[in-house]
Chains A and B, each alone.
Chain A
Amino acid sequence: MGMREPLSILVIDANRIRSSIIEQGLRDAGHERVIVVDNMDGLVRRITEIDPDVIVIDLENPNRDQLEHMFQVSRAVRRPIAMFVDRSESGAIEAAVDAGVSAYVVDGLKRERVKPILDMAISRFKAFSRLSQELEEARTELADRKTIERAKGILMRNRGVDEDEAYQLLRKAAMNQGRRVIDVAEGLVISSGLLEK
């Protein structure tokens, strides 16, 4: 590998957890000049100062139109162009949009230098959504467990059974009605809530 200027990479993402995951990934891959921005205020000035070679931005960011317009009209920044002007890369385009990320690169930069950066961003965006989903599932699971505890408590009070028997009652009802235990428990908690009022 010849002596090349290290690429400067600007990551624009309002989600600080996700942007730090991407930043770490890029640093681990040997990129030292990574700047993360989570706020669009004064971005034109920031971009002029940073003069990035590559810009990575999340698709939820409502400022993409502003950013693209700035690239078109600003004389202060080297003109970045959308990552995918070459339609032959339709697979990469879909992967990026599916992952929720878009990128702009300075015109003239060699594709093979930029591709690994985008691949990294895509995989980190995906990892982030997987983590978010797992967290959401964990939250739901916790909520489900609490609901079942409450349903058991209601049965224990009203039927004078112990905890184990209460659970067996829920299971039996679920089996008879062809429903999940959590659905029966939820029904019980809601209806007993209604009766109390």
Chain B
Amino acid sequence: MNRSDGDTVIAGFIPLLDSALLVAAAERGFAAEERVDLRLVRETSWANIRDRIAIGHFDVAHMLAPMPIAASLNITSLAVPMLAPMTLGLGGNAITVSTGLWRAMEQAGAAGNGDPASTGQALARAIAARPAGAARLRFGVVHPFSGHAYELRYWLAASGIHPDRDVEITVLPPPLMADALKADRLDGYCVGEPWNTAAALAGTGRIVTTKAAIWPGSPEKVLGVTRKWADANGDTLAALIRALAKAAIWCGDATNHADLAVLLSGPDYLDCPAEWCRPALSGLIALSRDAALAVPDFLSFTAPGALQPSTDHALWFYSQMLRWGQVQHDPAREAIARETYRPDLFAAAMPKTGKPSAGARPGQAGPPQRFYDGVEFTPQDIAGYVAGFPIRA
């Protein structure tokens, strides 16, 4: 690949709905307005994203929110210190189960409105009702260091289901999830759009709850960048952040959703039917072929905090790495996790207009993080927070 300096920015992305800001910035002129020549390179795995940003093929990348933290903590391959100067949206994920498992959950009293407490308890009852010696149910996530993995685990554990003992959790590429469900190789999964909608519209899966319900207002993807690149290209990074923030306003405007759905579904991006892209954008989620649910905050590009990272979010991801045994607690590691998210870089990049820009968050950390089970995250006492959960690694 030809490397060029200056204002050319090469960005790796995975074909998912929340690559929208990068795609819109490149295709609808927002990058050019900020004099950034944004070149997008589609990738097939998060491992490739990690490797190619580490060796400098990519300047920036669309990354799972916990990935830059895991890299900075040196707990992945090819780990280099990374930063997340921007969030690329809130929400966007859902948990989908096979139609067979949904029938069992319905019989066990699952509500049809996506309520995580009700569907989680119904799943626990459905598991308890399985015959002795039956194979454990298998759930899929896209990566061990992902919001999907932590949301699924949170929901299972809050329902009394131990994610490592009572079920099996496996990793699968998002586009293969719906097929695996159909082929009975998976019983459920947590994934970003459009891969829940794909199974719901095909009649092979049922969406049982959403990320927006489990952890309201939570980040999903971030703009990942190596500390080295950010230090050497501060002005370019700031210009890119402004371009992506403009793209976010455009993507968040409902009058552009028809255009955005067609753009994202094109052969260079998601390469899927445009109708798969519409539910997440409109917030009218097809739970199955014949059930729809309005989830206005399903995916947001412009809500407060949708673009400016929060150090509390970084620390929550760190707490889940502790909870599930991916890393051992250490004050130095906690500091590294916190400092990977850089709300200050976002704030410094935005024009000073005297009023908060779209997607900015009040204060460094923002409001307290509260989960659907009523438990509040306590960033000042992470070890205590983790120890408070009866189910953990």
Binding site for B on A (CB under 8 A): 59-66, 68-70, 72, 81-82, 84-85, 90, 93-94, 97, 102
Contacts and interface: CB of A to CB of B under 8 A. Distances in A.
A40 B48 CA distance: 18
Contacts of B283: none
A161 to B, nearest CB: 42
A97 B78 CA distance: 12
Contacts of B143: 65, 69
Interface of B: 44-48, 51-52, 54-55, 57, 77-78, 142-144, 170-173, 175-176
A63 B57 contact: no
Given A61-B45, A84-B77, A97 B51 contact: yes
Contacts of A66: 170-173
Nearest to B176: A62
Contact of B55 (A60, A72, A85, A90): A90
A63 B175 CA distance: 11
A68 B170 CA distance: 11
Contacts of B52: 97
B190 to A, nearest CB: 14
B46 A65 contact: yes
A69 B48 contact: no
Contacts of A65: 45-47, 142-143, 171, 173
Given A62-B173, A93-B54, 18 more contacts: A59-B51, A62-B44, A63-B45, A63-B173, A64-B44, A64-B47, A64-B48, A65-B45, A65-B47, A65-B173, A66-B170, A68-B77, A70-B171, A84-B78, A85-B77, A90-B55, A93-B51, A102-B47
A59 B48 contact: yes
A61 B48 CA distance: 10
24 contacts: A59-B44, A59-B45, A59-B51, A62-B173, A63-B45, A64-B44, A64-B47, A65-B46, A65-B47, A65-B142, A65-B143, A66-B171, A68-B47, A68-B77, A68-B171, A81-B77, A82-B77, A82-B78, A84-B77, A84-B78, A85-B77, A90-B55, A93-B55, A97-B57
A72 B44 CA distance: 20
A64 B48 CA distance: 8
A84 B142 CA distance: 23
A87 to B, nearest CB: 8
B44 A93 contact: no
Nearest to B54: A93
B51 A69 contact: no
A94 B57 CA distance: 9
Contacts of B176: 62
A69 B144 contact: yes
Contacts of A72: 144
Closest 9 CB pairs of A and B: A82-B77, A69-B171, A64-B47, A62-B173, A64-B45, A62-B44, A66-B171, A65-B45, A94-B55
Nearest to A40: B176
A97 B170 CA distance: 26
A121 to B, nearest CB: 15
A118 B3 CA distance: 25
A173 B164 CA distance: 73
A104 B177 CA distance: 25
B173 A93 contact: no
A104 to B, nearest CB: 9
B71 to A, nearest CB: 13
Nearest to B144: A69
* Residue of B45, B55, B77, B176 with highest tally of chain A CB at under 10 A: B45
Contacts of B44: 59-62, 64
Nearest to B183: A41
A59 B48 CA distance: 7
B304 to A, nearest CB: 32
Contacts of A94: 55
A75 B333 CA distance: 27
A62 to B, nearest CB: 4
A64 B175 CA distance: 14
A81 B54 CA distance: 17
Contacts of B48: 59, 64
* Residue of A64, A72, A81, A93 with highest tally of chain B CB at under 10 A: A64
B7 to A, nearest CB: 24
A68 to B, nearest CB: 6
* Residue of A69, A85, A94, A102 with highest tally of chain B CB at under 10 A: A69
Nearest to B146: A65
